[in-house]
Amino acid sequence: MPLLTYAIAEASEGKKVELFPISFPSVANGTWQQLADSVASIKSLTPFPAHVLFNRWRQGYAAVAVAQHEIVAYISCQPILFQATRQKLSEKLGIDCECLPDIDTYEFLTGWTHPAWRRKDISLQLRRHLMAHFHGTNHFFISVTVGLGASPVSAKLGWQVMP
């Protein structure tokens, strides 16, 4: 599974940027810990240990944007309902697994952008890349956000934002 890693190319106006795929460059030893600390410093975000954030990326469930060998944006998702959980759910409910819809469901989790890189559509682009990574008709994404945090990004994706 390819790692979802992007470098930032600033647009001429300086407001919006474009992302282009790269192999993950060498980064300082504490980069993933820095990311975990940055996420933990924002009260509305759920903190996760550095190894969890790294493993989500390594497993293809996260996309990162890098600048100057540092992670400046991160977006992740987690599978909720997929083959293994469908099997467990069917056993718990006492029904045939074939009765459950064959739709893999993912929840967007951590979404963080360094303050200096916000309002440049980086999070939006990373979400699009992450969703495209799971192309096909049997994938469904949801997002739960406290406050208005990701609501503008979700709305730009054409999602229905519900109270």
DSSP string of 64-127, one letter each residue: EEEETTEEEEEEEEEEEESHHHHHHHHHHHTS-GGGS---EEEEEEEEEE-GGGTTSSHHHHHH
The pLDDT assigned to 12 comes to 60
The pLDDT assigned to 29 comes to 61
Looking up tokens 């550095």 gives: 50
Going along the chain from its start, the domains and CATH numbers come out as 4-156 (3.40.630.30)
The pLDDT assigned to 9 comes to 83
The pLDDT assigned to 33 comes to 94
User: Rounded to an integer, what distance in angstroms lies between the CA atom of residue 64 and that of residue 71?
Assistant: 7
- What is the full per-residue pLDDT of the chain (163 aa) written as tens digits? 568 999 988 766 656 788 999 886 655 668 999 999 999 999 888 899 999 999 999 999 999 999 888 899 999 988 887 777 778 877 888 887 777 777 778 888 888 999 999 989 898 899 889 888 887 667 666 666 555 455 566 666 666 666 6
The pLDDT assigned to 160 comes to 63
User: Rounded to an integer, what distance in angstroms lies between the CA atom of residue 40 and that of residue 162?
Assistant: 26
The pLDDT assigned to 159 comes to 61
The pLDDT assigned to 132 comes to 86
Angle between helices 50-58 and 31-40 (to 10 degrees): 110
The pLDDT assigned to 35 comes to 96
